[in-house]
Amino acid sequence: MSIRINRVYTRSGDKGETGLIGGQRVSKDHPRIQAYGDLDELNSLVGMVRTLLPGEKSWPAAEREIWDREFKLMQNRLFDAGSLLAAPEASAWETRPRFGEQDDLALETSMDRMQAHLGELKSFVLPGGSPLNAWLHLCRTVCRRAERKVVALAREGEVDPGVRRYLNRLSDWFFVASRHAARLADSPEFLWETPLAAEKSKAGETGNAL
């Protein structure tokens, strides 16, 4: 695909429509536009996290390098996925990007590497504990939203099943990465307390005060 961007504004979208790959015009709130719009949002968040990496001075340099490589690949694959969603007839596009088992395996291998250093969870995790942890949880939730939009779009038209599978695996990656980021920063994770657990904790604190 030849890409040329000489001017950003075109005025062609002033009436609330935009063009898909192939020339078809659709409303800017079309399910297809919403789906790849969420991928664009997610890509921006990944870019934010990637930009913050050099500031994590307490992390081993090798770890920052690994994450930067993974985020670079992730940003490109998210853009690939968006280009597929922007093409109503992706199968007719001979040079289109492809998503396959290697993409899933790469994410799973990365998760296994991080998970090996994490303790067992005995409660649900809440976002926060360290800035990067919170950003990664935000990536996770936007990724889940994008996946929901892709699932809905798949009911109406052609969607590469590899894209849907990739997003499902990617949201899992963000969850594991958020925990790994907290560990590397030596920050405690925020854990969900059930009402009963919260009552016990409160009672314990009152007892200690007495």
CA distances from 145 to 117, 137, 153 (A): 28, 12, 12
Inter-residue contact 151 to 31 (CB < 8 Å)? no
How many Å from the N-terminal Cα to the C-terminal Cα in the chain?
72
Q: Which H/E stretch holds residue 175?
A: helix 161-184
Mean pLDDT throughout 77-100? 80
User: Whole-model pTM?
Assistant: 0.82
Tokens of 69: 């490589």
Q: Which H/E stretch holds residue 35?
A: helix 31-52
Degrees (nearest 5) of the Cα angle 137, 140, 144?
A: 145
Angstrom distance (rounded) from CA 16 to CA 14 = 6
Mean pLDDT throughout 124-145? 93
Degrees (nearest 5) of the Cα angle 31, 92, 147?
A: 30
3-class DSSP state for residue 101? helix
pLDDT in tens, 52-64: 999 999 999 999 9
Q: Give the CATH H-level superfamily of domain 19-209.
A: Cobalamin adenosyltransferase-like (1.20.1200.10)
Inter-residue contact 115 to 176 (CB < 8 Å)? yes
Q: What percent of the chain has pLDDT over 90?
A: 50
Lowest mean pLDDT among 32-36, 75-79, 138-142, 145-149: 32-36
Residue 128: left (phi > 0), alpha (psi -120 to 50), or beta?
left
pLDDT in tens, 152-194: 988 887 788 899 999 999 999 999 999 999 999 988 888 888 8
